[in-house]
Amino acid sequence: AERAERADRLMMMTMGSMSGTMRHAGALAANIAGGGPVQPPPPHESPSVMHALEEARAAAAAAMTAADQARHQAARERHERQAVEDELTDARDALAEEQRRRERAEHAAAVSFDDAEYARELLHEHAVASASAKVRSVRPNGEGPNVGEGSGASARRDPPPGVASAAQATLQAAAEAASLLEELKGGLRATLEQQRHLQQAQREAA
């Protein structure tokens, strides 16, 4: 902007000098046409002054070129800053999305943990109930368990298939949720690192 202002001032000075020269040329032509005496050019319009005027015009043109280059450079820098800001906005959006995914994963992990604890309690209660039933099946005379319908091994009750499979599935889901949470933490760290780099680039561009 400062270069452009200097170029404008030089152009105004140049135009003023050229206007004075044109006025003198017009007066000179009028004197010649009217038969009047030809006035010599004023001292300030000597060849040395004209040479200085040409140099001023050249300097003004160079200043205008420099001003154009400065404007193009400023436009390019604005474009680069806008690109960095857009990337930073994208990084913020990605960071927010990673945060939401992490929160969902933490919630899913907490729910899976609660389900796993509930499944363990069910298995424990079933084991206690099986042990109590085994004790009650012992004959009063102490001869051992009642094996009228099978061996002693068959008297031991295994957990119902539904409870066992549900407990296994719950534990598996809890493990998967924990693994997903670790992956999300890694992605969050990478996104934060990218955001720091973009912020540094934005500060350097500014």
191 plus 103 within the same structural domain: yes
49 plus 127 within the same structural domain: no
190 plus 108 within the same structural domain: yes
Low-confidence ranges of the chain (pLDDT < 70): 1-45, 138-171, 173-174, 177-178, 180-181, 183-192, 194-195, 197-199, 201-206
For residue 171, being part of any structural domain is answered with yes
104 plus 185 within the same structural domain: yes
For residue 147, being part of any structural domain is answered with no
pLDDT, tens digit, 9 for 90 and up, residues 147-161: 444 444 444 455 555
Asked if residue 50 lies in contact with residue 96, where contact means CB atoms within 8 angstroms, the answer is no
Please report the pLDDT score of residue 75 as a whole number.
Answer: 92
Please report the pLDDT score of residue 52 as a whole number.
Answer: 84
For residue 87, being part of any structural domain is answered with no
122 plus 58 within the same structural domain: no
Please report the pLDDT score of residue 8 as a whole number.
Answer: 62
126 plus 65 within the same structural domain: no
Tokens of 47: 């060849």
161-205 and 47-136 helices cross at what angle (nearest 10)? 170
Return the half-sphere exposure (C-beta side, CA atoms, 13 A cut-off) of residue 85: 8
For residue 1, being part of any structural domain is answered with yes
Q: What are phi and psi of 138, to 5 degrees?
A: -70, 140
For residue 52, being part of any structural domain is answered with yes
Alpha-carbon dihedral angle through residues 191, 197, 203, 206, given to the nearest 10 degrees: -90
Q: What are phi and psi of 181, to 5 degrees?
A: -65, -40
Q: How far is it, in rounded angstroms, from Cα 8 to Cα 167? A: 83
Asked if residue 102 lies in contact with residue 184, where contact means CB atoms within 8 angstroms, the answer is yes
Strands (E) across 4-124 are located at none
Asked if residue 76 lies in contact with residue 33, where contact means CB atoms within 8 angstroms, the answer is no
Residue 39, domain extent: 1-80
Please report the pLDDT score of residue 11 as a whole number.
Answer: 60
Residues 6+ apart with CB under 8 A from 89: none
Among residues 177, 166, 199, the alpha carbon closest in space to that of 113 is found at: 177
**Number of independent structural domains in the chain:** 2
For residue 49, being part of any structural domain is answered with yes
Q: Is the full-model pTM beyond 0.85?
A: no
29 plus 111 within the same structural domain: no
Please report the pLDDT score of residue 136 as a whole number.
Answer: 72
For residue 141, being part of any structural domain is answered with no
